[in-house]
């Protein structure tokens, strides 16, 4: 084992774990105050149930030898995952497992952004578990396990453009479509209740993303196998979002005369998403170009979505789906062997890498959409997936958790199912929210 590699990967794992609470602040600030806690809990709960699911079965399905499509059960319940070196690496196997667990946790939490303010919490938690087993783990195996078919084909995904972002965004699109829109969608303005939370979340996400991308070197410096330098991934993770933020701000000013804070936070996330598959494969200059180019499709995708009936509440598809797809495809354009030690892309004489990247993106889109549809349809036949109109009107914080993010008076509202008529406090709350007692 290499002590520097072990030390760096411990830090990187902690950084990526921080991304899920950061996502909670980012998402939580974007919703209405009556749903803030529920939205944040949809991220925080992933830290629990996905951590357990990954340790019990997810890691084995993702990184067990298996076949081209799925890992075997050789690592079930962390069997044989100990302090010895991970295969082909310089860090303990158990540390590699933990690092990958943080990816599974934040990827599942990303989906919540498309279904906030309407999905019941219990079914949501069950969905996360099933999705991680039947969608995330197989896709992870395809791309990152040495026996995976996309890995063998030579698809480049340094830290999760397809595995994380395209995968989660396509699943979010299916979930949002099946659940339907919020009761107030397109009827009244639904505004972020706490923009400083959004900026805080974006800043913390960028901080954690250095562990996400640079940690995917699985080493502190030059590493073996499919990875090269953590330093390169670190620098490209700094530069690409800077370029995206710059271009996005220009677009905001050109369109509306003002640079919005929510737009700036979104731009940072889009830049991070786009550079993720390319982080260790492209030069710093190419990272700037990639980040700048990525701003355009996501920016206009958000504008277009607002004109449709799709209630992708927090624009998961535009930010992560479009951004991840653009990043994965541009990896095939800007990849440079002189920097990555692997293969060149289109600009450096290897146009076939674009074909391989497109196959990877297309396969993940089809599989994630199909499996998410099946999971939700089966669940929907057995239980109610979304809150009823009354609960949604009152707010998901009170109805799903019995708490409020912001209380007024001396205490929170007490909701008792046996009450035949709403209390005076409840009537007042409904009146404030525009509902009827």
110-145 pLDDT, tens digit each: 999 999 999 999 999 999 999 999 999 999 999 999
Q: What is the pTM of this model?
A: 0.91
- pLDDT above 90 for 260: yes
Q: Which fold has domain 3-382?
A: Ammonium transporter fold (1.10.3430)
Tell me how crowded residue 331 is: count the other CB atoms within 10 A of its CB. 33
What is the distance between the alpha carbons of residues 388 and 256, in angstroms, rounded to a whole number? Answer: 37
Per the model's pLDDT, the better-predicted residue between 140 and 86 turns out to be 140
Q: What is the mean pLDDT of the chain?
A: 92
Residue 435 has a pLDDT of 47
Cβ-Cβ contacts under 8 Å for 383 (sequence gap 6 or more):
122, 123
* Chain CA centroid to CA 142, Å: 18
Per the model's pLDDT, the better-predicted residue between 407 and 281 turns out to be 281
The CA-to-CA distance between both ends of the chain, in Å, stands at 65
313-346 pLDDT, tens digit each: 899 999 999 999 999 999 999 999 999 889 999 9
Residue ranges per structural domain of the chain: 3-382, 407-437
Mean of pLDDT values over 402-426: 62
Phi first, then psi, for residue 222 (nearest 5°) are -75, 125
Cβ-Cβ contacts under 8 Å for 325 (sequence gap 6 or more):
161, 166, 361
Place 265 in a pLDDT band, splitting at 50, 70 and 90: very high
Cβ-Cβ contacts under 8 Å for 206 (sequence gap 6 or more):
241, 268, 272
- DSSP one-letter code for 59: H
Considering only CA atoms, which of 80, 59, 81 is closest in space to residue 144? Answer: 59
- pLDDT above 60 for 228: no
Residue appearing with tokens 């030059």: 222
CB 274 within 8 A of CB 137: no
Considering only CA atoms, which of 151, 78, 87 is closest in space to residue 342? Answer: 151
Place 221 in a pLDDT band, splitting at 50, 70 and 90: confident
145-203 pLDDT, tens digit each: 999 999 999 999 999 999 999 999 999 999 999 999 999 898 888 999 999 999 999 99
Mean of pLDDT values over 290-298: 98
Residue 189 has a pLDDT of 83
């Amino acid at each position: 084992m290499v002590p520097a590699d072990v030390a760096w990967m411990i830090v990187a794992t902690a950084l990526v774990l921080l991304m899920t609470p950061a996502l909670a602040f980012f998402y939580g600030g974007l919703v209405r105050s009556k749903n803030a806690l529920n939205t944040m809990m949809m991220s925080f709960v992933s830290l629990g149930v996905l951590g357990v699911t990954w340790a019990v079965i997810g890691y084995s399905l993702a990184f067990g030898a298996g076949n081209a499509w799925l890992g075997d059960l050789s690592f079930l319940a962390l069997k044989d995952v100990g302090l010895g070196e991970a295969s082909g690496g310089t860090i303990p196997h158990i540390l590699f497992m933990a690092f990958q667990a943080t990816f599974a946790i934040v990827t599942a939490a990303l989906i919540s952004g498309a279904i906030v303010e309407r999905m019941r919490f219990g079914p949501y938690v069950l969905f996360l578990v099933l999705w991680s087993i039947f969608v995330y783990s197989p896709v992870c195996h395809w791309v990152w396990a040495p026996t995976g078919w996309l890995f063998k084909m030579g698809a480049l995904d340094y830290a999760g453009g397809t595995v994380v972002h395209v995968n989660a965004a396509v699943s979010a699109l299916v979930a949002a479509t099946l659940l339907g829109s919020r009761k107030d969608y397109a009827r009244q303005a639904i505004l972020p209740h706490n923009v400083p939370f959004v900026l805080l979340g974006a800043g913390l996400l960028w901080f954690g993303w250095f562990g996400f991308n640079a940690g995917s070197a699985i080493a502190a410096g030059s590493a073996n196998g499919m990875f090269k330098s953590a330093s390169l991934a670190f620098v490209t993770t700094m530069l690409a979002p800077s370029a995206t933020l710059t271009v996005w701000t220009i677009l905001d000013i050109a369109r509306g005369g003002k640079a919005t804070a929510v737009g700036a936070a979104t731009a940072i996330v889009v830049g991070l998403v786009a550079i993720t598959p390319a982080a260790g494969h492209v030069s710093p200059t190419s990272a700037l170009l990639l980040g700048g180019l990525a701003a355009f499709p996501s920016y206009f995708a958000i504008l277009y979505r607002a004109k449709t009936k799709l209630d992708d509440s927090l624009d998961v598809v535009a930010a992560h789906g479009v951004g991840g797809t653009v990043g994965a495809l541009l990896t095939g354009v800007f990849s440079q062997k002189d920097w990555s030690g692997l293969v060149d892309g289109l600009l450096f004489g290897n146009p076939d890498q674009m074909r391989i990247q497109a196959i990877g993106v297309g396969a993940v889109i089809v599989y994630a959409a199909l499996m998410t549809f099946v999971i939700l349809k089966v669940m929907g036949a057995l239980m109610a997936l979304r809150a009823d109109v009354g609960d949604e009107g009152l707010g998901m914080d009170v109805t799903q958790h019995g708490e409020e993010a912001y209380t007024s008076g001396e205490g929170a509202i007490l909701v008792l199912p046996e009450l035949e008529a709403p209390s005076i406090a409840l009537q007042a709350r409904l009146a404030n929210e525009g509902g009827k007692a």
